[in-house]
Amino acid sequence: MASARLSPTANLLRKSRLFALPKTLNGPKDQTSRESGTATLPHPIRASIVTPQSSLARGDWGLKRPLPAKSTSEKSSRPVVRLHALDTYEHVTDFESAADHTVTLEKFQEMHMPMSLPSKVNYATSVVPRHQSPFETHLDNTETSQGLQEPGAKQFRHTGPWLAGQTEAEFAAYLKQVTRNKPELLKKLREQFVAKRSAEIRKLAQDNGEDLEAHPATVTDAEFNVYIKTLRNDPFALGPVVFDLLDLASPPAVPSERIGRKYYQSPGTKLSSFEYAVSGPPKTHPSAGLSYTRSHALIHNHAQFGPQAHQRPVEARILRPKGRFKGRMARALAGIGGIAVEDLNAMTFVEQGTPPGLTFFDASIPGGGKYWVTPIRASIDSDGRIGLSSYRASATAKAPYGIEDHHKPSTLTISDVATAPSPLVPRLDRQSFGQPRFQPSTENRPRRQPTRGTEDVARSLLNNLNSRS
């Protein structure tokens, strides 16, 4: 069968890269007016556009008009742009650089980190949290997946909203939507009641040794109304039915002060991670498309020393030292591969010493405070942010690559002077006021006589006194 012929216009639109751009996503809701409007978003909301070098020389990006070279090719060796508006009222193309998220993606892929489901990392112990890949069959499910029929299957998305994260206006709008769908919901509830009654009849017939098909389940309107009234009078029984009927994500745990009261109990969470039950279901896939590797079972082979237990350490830049921030004690903040990471005061810092610049800001460190870390886990939280967990790189992990943390130079210790190329040894018994402890030696300077000891000075002083007397 011959394929239908396309018109030139349809063929042009079908092969156009401009019409293949995905729809712009919604930005994060937690932004306030105090934050900068040009700050990097936690996740990209517009697609990045690149062009070949042959087209870049002409400023051709496949858009309505060429883009200026001053803002693209002359500003960066690998320009990447994101489009805000193809054509504005002023007849210009509104665009900006997309290198922030593009370079972050490249840096993250260089770490060779598989994505994991979010889990808390306890830095007080050396136990690494268990890795759970979001691509497992019993975890990578939505409300329409076939894998939900398997026992113990989990999912990362529900058709209903997460009630704990809704505002009052959003909850009121959702109640109106539920009211409009009341006939369909009652029909579904009746089907569930019939299935429950059928299971009870089959269980009773099986216990009595009767035919399982001899007593079909029938439910009258009066029995169904009595069942609804029973659910309304018992919040503990109505809660699981409502969550199952509306396909709602489980809320956080009930506070301890409400345990003695009556509340609508929710069923066990069906979300793939327990952290999603606390902070809400993820807005994207738990991997966010950053990496499709399912395991840490990789061999990091060194060209000279062979396979290594750890990958090459990554340098972390200290963005904010520990101290008071916004009126409260804040943890240190560092950047690892373009990702801001907290909880840097790990137990390994006590064993190997605190890196310079972590406790307080030190302007004497060239290039700012930095140290080497070993990433262990990477995950995506409910807001679409990258959560990276890392330990400080050990001496074994840094030795094959010849790297070490920055050490501030100090000439007040014997070890530093002993390893220095200067032949002078400092005098530790006394030090003259206003005189430097160490004098640089030069070949042209005349050699000074060795300084006499304290006993020689005292003996000569006594001889002088005796001679005068």
Q: What is the pLDDT of residue 179?
A: 92
Percentage of the chain lying above the pLDDT 90 cut:
17
At 96, the pLDDT band (50, 70, 90 cuts) reads very high
One-letter amino acid of 256: S
Tokens of 85: 């508006």
Higher-confidence residue of 336 and 4: namely: 336
Residue 229 β-bridge partners: none
Radius of gyration, alpha carbons of the chain:
35
34: pLDDT strictly greater than 90: no
> Left (φ > 0), alpha (ψ -120 to 50) or beta: where does 45 sit?
alpha
Tell me the domain boundaries of the chain. Answer: 9-25+38-111, 179-267, 301-401
329: pLDDT strictly greater than 80: no
Q: What is the pLDDT of residue 7?
A: 86
Q: What is the pLDDT of residue 116?
A: 93
Do the beta carbons of residue 439 and residue 424 sit within 8 Å?
yes
At 347, the pLDDT band (50, 70, 90 cuts) reads very low
Tens digit of pLDDT for each residue in 178-209? 999 999 999 999 888 888 888 888 888 777 77
Higher-confidence residue of 438 and 324: namely: 324
**Rounded Cα gap, residues 114 and 22, in angstroms:** 26
Residues contacting 363, CB < 8 A, separation 6+: none
433: pLDDT strictly greater than 50: no
Q: What is the mean pLDDT of residues 425-435?
A: 50
Residues contacting 203, CB < 8 A, separation 6+: none
**27-31, 93-97, 178-182: least confident range:** 27-31
Residue 49 β-bridge partners: 81
For residue 368, what are the CA distances in angstroms to 165, 317, 427?
39, 7, 34
Do the beta carbons of residue 51 and residue 62 sit within 8 Å?
yes
Q: What is the pLDDT of residue 36?
A: 67
Across the beta sheet with 370-380, the strand order is 339-341, 333-336, 314-320, 370-380, 386-392
**84-98, 100-114, 194-208: least confident range:** 194-208
At 287, the pLDDT band (50, 70, 90 cuts) reads very high
**Rounded Cα gap, residues 433 and 81, in angstroms:** 63
